[in-house]
Amino acid sequence: MVATLTSPESISIENEKNPWLAAAARFEDAANRLNLDDGMRKVLGTSARELTVHIPVLLDDGRIEVFTGYRVQHSIARGPAKGGIRFAPDGTLDEVRALASWMTWKCAVVNIPFGGGKGGVICDPNILSDTELEKITRRYTAEIIDFIGPERDVPAPDVNTNEKVMAWIMDTYSMHARHTVTAIVTGKPMALGGSRGRPEATGRGCMMVILRALKLMNKRPEDTTVVVQGFGNVGGMASQLMSAVGFKIIALVEYDGAVYNPNGLDIAALQQHRKETGSITGFAGGEDMDKAEAMFLECDVLLPAATENVLTSQNAHRVRCQILCEGANGPTTPLADLVLADRKVFVIPDILANAGGVTVSYFEWVQDRQGFFWNEQLVNERLQEIMDESFDAIVEYARAHHVNNRIAAYMVALDRVAGAIKLRGIYA
């Protein structure tokens, strides 16, 4: 499907949260500035492959249910498609298309040799047993098995999937291949070829680019206040790592509430509290507050690290931060971008900010293919090098071309992917 290309200004409020239109708007803006010809726009604005599968599963109560799954490969021009698989009741093909295209640009921004892919199954893991989830995972893998492979498309965890799900995918693929294929997925358990440093990588990458931004502004972590939305793998890990180097995490926002302490939250104690109670609310080291209000506290850094579309044209004017670091995919709509630009917020866009995860996934893929594994220090050193170089390149590009950081990131990414396609030529 070809994107309905548009501009950020032309998106209506009614369509503001459509992820495919958001991806297309940013694509169009960057393509215009790069003067891409119509043919290249069609290639880059179209998914290379899209697969929809319907998965019959025998549930624990004896009923048969049919689940719908997707796998989209947006681009394979620079290498195998790379992207997560999510299990969610509200997933759509448009969402998967958008996320696949974002993966293309993300991999290009940090200059790793992958294209973009994404997958998902429409289901609610909260009402499914482990046995049912395993059946869904294995049947979904079997249905897309001709689509994926270490040289074709390498899935990874995403929303509501984890290393256990990746182990099931690896095993299913390996059973069909008749030999163990560890490089088919990343984000695996260490015992099955996972990489040291992978669980922390996305949160660590967010911290790295925030530190780089502070350096530009001559600020120190210990003088920096942070509000984090999301206390899962990305937000929780970023909070933990940032707190350890001196950042003052003044508020954490979750789906069921928010907790606030102007002197800084004890992140380790808060994690223990949630482990014991199942919620961040009621924490003795802070005060509960409305989650919608907590998002807009005055702070130096706002780190949305949960879901898409949390900042829109309806609330972006309430943002009170100097730096917005997008730990989640697509937390800011194109219309919200216009508001943030007027307010001169320094945005570290998602395709750069949360690229630490795919970067260390690349390291895992490399290690699996070599059969030689690195220690965590080496993983983190190489991640630091890539995140620093990528951040500096985007900021310099933005300055040189008089654009904001998001459009600079898209322009760099589009230019790299288009360059690869031009070098390869069009096969006919």
Token pair listed for 47: 């998914």
Strand ranges (DSSP E) for 60-134? 64-75, 81-88, 115-122
CA distance 120 to 294: 31
Catalytic residue of the set 82, 106, 118, 135: 118
Contact 304, 310 (CB under 8 A): yes
DSSP state of 158: -
Does 248 participate in catalysis according to the annotation?
no
Buried b (16+ CB within 10 A) or exposed e, 306-318: bebbbbbbeebee
Tally of CA atoms within 13 A in the half-sphere of 174 that contains its CB: 14
From 304, 311, 318, 319, select the one nearest 254 (Cα to Cα): 304
How many C-beta atoms lie closer than 10 Å to residue 85's C-beta? 30
DSSP state of 198: T
Token pair listed for 144: 């897309």
CA distance 100 to 94: 10
How many C-beta atoms lie closer than 10 Å to residue 256's C-beta? 10
Token pair listed for 292: 């919608």
Token pair listed for 118: 């994404």
DSSP state of 164: H
The 8 Å CB, 24+ separation contacts for 280-284 are 280/231, 280/252, 280/254, 280/256, 281/256, 281/257, 283/259
Token pair listed for 124: 């609610």
**What is the set of active-site residues?**
118
